[in-house]
Amino acid sequence: MTTKRIALITGANKGIGFETARQLGQQQITVLLGARDAAKGEAAAAKLRAEGLDARALELDVTVSASIQRTADKVAREFGRLDILVNNAGVMTDDQTKKVSEQSLSAWRTTFETNVFGVVAVTQAFLPLLRKSEAGRIVNLSSILGSNTLHSDPQSPIYDFKLPAYNVSKSAVNAYTVQLAYELRDTPIKVNAAHPGWVKTEMGGEGATMELADGAKTSVALATLPVDGPSGAYMHLGETLPW
| CB contact at 8 A, 12 and 88 | yes
Instruction: Tell me the residue ranges of DSSP E strands in 102-203.
Output: 137-141, 190-194
pLDDT in tens, 183-227: 999 999 999 999 998 877 777 777 777 788 999 999 999 999 999
Structural domain 6-240, CATH architecture: 3-Layer(aba) Sandwich (3.40)
| CB contact at 8 A, 11 and 92 | no
**62 Rama class: left (phi>0) / alpha (psi -120 to 50) / beta:** alpha
Rounded Cα distance, 118 and 123, in Å: 8
What 3-state DSSP class applies to 128? helix
- Counting every residue written for the chain, the total comes to 243
pLDDT on residue 1: 58
pLDDT on residue 73: 98
pLDDT on residue 202: 73
Instruction: Spell out the residues 6+ positions from residue 12 whose beta carbon is closer than 8 angstroms to its own.
Output: 18, 20, 21, 31, 33, 34, 35, 41, 44, 86, 88
Q: Known catalytic residues?
A: 166, 170
pLDDT on residue 206: 72
Rounded Cα distance, 135 and 103, in Å: 41
Task: State which residues of the chain have pLDDT below 70.
Answer: 1
Looking at residue 242, what DSSP letter applies? P
Segment (H or E) for 183: helix 164-183
What 3-state DSSP class applies to 8? strand
Q: What is the pTM of this model?
A: 0.96
Looking at residue 116, what DSSP letter applies? I
Closest CA to 83 of 133, 10, 24: 133
What 3-state DSSP class applies to 127? helix
pLDDT on residue 236: 96
Cα–Cα separations (whole angstroms), residue 70 to 59, 65, 169, 210 = 9, 9, 26, 35
pLDDT in tens, 137-156: 999 999 999 999 999 999 99
What does 58-84 look like in DSSP terms, one character per residue? EE--TT-HHHHHHHHHHHHHHHS--SE
